[in-house]
Structure 1
Amino acid sequence: MTYESWGRNSPTLRRSCTPDSLNSEVMAKGSFLPYGNGRSYGDSCHNKDGRLIDMRDANRILSFDEGSGVLTCEAGTLLSDILAHVIPRGFFLPVTPGTRFVTVGGAIANDVHGKNHHVRGTFGAHVESLVLLRSDRGLLTCSPSENSDLFAATIGGMGLTGLITRAKIRLMRVGSADVRQRTLRFDGIDDYFTRCAEFDDMHEYAVAWIDQLAKGRRLGRGLLLGADHPSERSQPSRPASGPKLSIPFVPPVNLVNRATLKVFNELFFRKERAGEHWRTVSWQSYFYPLDSIGRWNRLYGPRGLFQHQSVYPEMNGHDTTVRLMECAQVHGHASFLTVLKRFGAHRSPGLFSFPRPGFTLTLDFANQGADTVKLLEALDDIVIAAGGAVNPYKDARMSAATFEASFPDWRALEVHRDCAMISDFWKRTAMVLPRQTARMAALAAAV
Structure 2
Amino acid sequence: MRPTRELSGWGRYPRRPGPVAAPRDAAEARAALSGGVVARGNGRAYGDSAMGAALTLETRRMDRMLAFDPERGQLVAEAGVLLGDVIDAFLPRGWFPFVTPGTKFVTLGGAIAADVHGKNHHREGGFGAFVDWVDLMGPDGQVTRASRETAPDLFAWTLGGMGLTGVILRAAIRLRPVETGWIRQTSIMAPDLAAAMAAFEAHDAATYSVAWIDCLARGPALGRSILMLGEHARRDELPVEQREHPFETPPRRRLTMPLDAPALALNRYAMRGFNALYWARGRRAPRETLVGWDGYFYPLDAVLGWNRIYGRRGFLQFQCVLPPDRAEQGLAALLGETARTGQGSFLAVLKRLGPGAGRFAFPMPGWTLALDFPAGPRSLALLDRLDAITLAHGGRFYLAKDARLAAATLHAADPRAARFRDMRRAAGLDTAFASAQSERLLL
Q: Same fold (TM over 0.5)?
A: yes
Q: Which amino acid aligns with 2:361?
A: S
- 1:197 Cα deviation after fit: 0.6
Q: Deviations over 1:242-297 (max 9, x none)?
A: 76111122244363432222222222111233698211111111100000000000
Match of 2:438 in 1: 426
For the residues of structure 2 that align with 1:315 and 1:187, how far apart are their CA atoms?
Answer: 22
Match of 2:207 in 1: 204
Match of 1:16 in 2: 20
Q: 2:47 aligns with which of 42, 55, 64?
A: 42
Match of 1:436 in 2: none
User: Unaligned regions of 5+ residues in structure 1, if any?
Assistant: 432-447
Match of 1:99 in 2: 103
- 1:329 Cα deviation after fit: 2.1
Q: 1:262 aligns with which of 246, 269, 272?
A: 272
| Maintained 8 Å contact 2:211/2:227 | yes
Match of 1:441 in 2: none
Match of 1:400 in 2: 407
State whether structure 2 residue 229 is matched by structure 1 residue 221: no
Deviates more, 1:402-411 or 1:179-188: 402-411
Q: Which amino acid aligns with 1:424?
A: A
Q: Deviations over 1:299-345 (max 9, x none)?
A: 1111110000011111122111110011112233121221111112x
For the residues of structure 2 that align with 1:123 and 1:240, how far apart are their CA atoms?
Answer: 27
Q: Which amino acid aligns with 1:172?
A: R
State whether structure 2 residue 196 is matched by structure 1 residue 192: yes
Q: 2:340 aligns with which of 303, 322, 330?
A: 330
Match of 1:387 in 2: 394
- 1:24 Cα deviation after fit: 4.5
Match of 1:316 in 2: 326
Distance 1:23 1:60, change over 3 A: closer
SS at match of 2:92: helix
Match of 1:244 in 2: 254
For the residues of structure 1 that align with 2:93 and 2:99, how far apart are their CA atoms?
Answer: 18
For the residues of structure 2 that align with 1:186 and 1:299, how far apart are their CA atoms?
Answer: 28
| Maintained 8 Å contact 1:100/1:288 | yes
Deviates more, 1:70-79 or 1:183-192: 183-192
| Maintained 8 Å contact 1:135/1:418 | no
Distance 1:64 1:175, change over 3 A: same
| Maintained 8 Å contact 2:99/2:120 | yes
State whether structure 2 residue 417 is matched by structure 1 residue 410: yes
Distance 1:254 1:97, change over 3 A: farther
SS at match of 2:229: strand
- Within 5 Å, give how 1:271-420 maps onto structure 2: 271-273=281-283, 277-344=287-354, 346-348=355-357, 350-367=358-375, 369-414=376-421, 415-416=423-424, 417=429, 419-420=431-432
Aligned residues: 425
| Maintained 8 Å contact 1:317/1:358 | yes
For the residues of structure 2 that align with 1:146 and 1:290, how far apart are their CA atoms?
Answer: 38
- 1:396 Cα deviation after fit: 0.8
- 1:101 Cα deviation after fit: 0.3
Match of 2:263 in 1: 253
| Maintained 8 Å contact 1:392/1:403 | no
For the residues of structure 2 that align with 1:43 and 1:254, how far apart are their CA atoms?
Answer: 26
For the residues of structure 2 that align with 1:374 and 1:100, how far apart are their CA atoms?
Answer: 32
Q: Which amino acid aligns with 1:259?
A: Y
For the residues of structure 1 that align with 2:37 and 2:253, how far apart are their CA atoms?
Answer: 32
Cα RMSD (Å): 1.9
- 1:37 Cα deviation after fit: 0.7
- Within 5 Å, give how 1:74-153 maps onto structure 2: 74-136=78-140, 138-153=142-157
For the residues of structure 2 that align with 1:26 and 1:291, how far apart are their CA atoms?
Answer: 33
Deviates more, 1:94-103 or 1:330-339: 330-339
For the residues of structure 2 that align with 1:9 and 1:293, how far apart are their CA atoms?
Answer: 20
TM-score norm. by structure 1 comes to: 0.90
- 1:3 Cα deviation after fit: 2.8
Q: Which amino acid aligns with 2:275?
A: N
Distance 1:42 1:169, change over 3 A: same
Q: Deviations over 1:35-78 (max 9, x none)?
A: 1111111111112x411111111111112222210001100000
For the residues of structure 1 that align with 2:31 and 2:350, how far apart are their CA atoms?
Answer: 46
TM-score norm. by structure 2 comes to: 0.91
| Maintained 8 Å contact 2:39/2:56 | yes
Distance 1:239 1:130, change over 3 A: farther
For the residues of structure 2 that align with 1:158 and 1:347, how far apart are their CA atoms?
Answer: 14
Distance 1:23 1:245, change over 3 A: closer
Distance 1:75 1:23, change over 3 A: closer
- 1:411 Cα deviation after fit: 3.2
User: Unaligned regions of 5+ residues in structure 2, if any?
Assistant: none
For the residues of structure 2 that align with 1:230 and 1:224, how far apart are their CA atoms?
Answer: 18
| Maintained 8 Å contact 1:14/1:51 | yes
| Maintained 8 Å contact 1:311/1:359 | yes
Distance 1:155 1:243, change over 3 A: farther
SS at match of 1:410: helix
Identity of aligned residues (%): 40
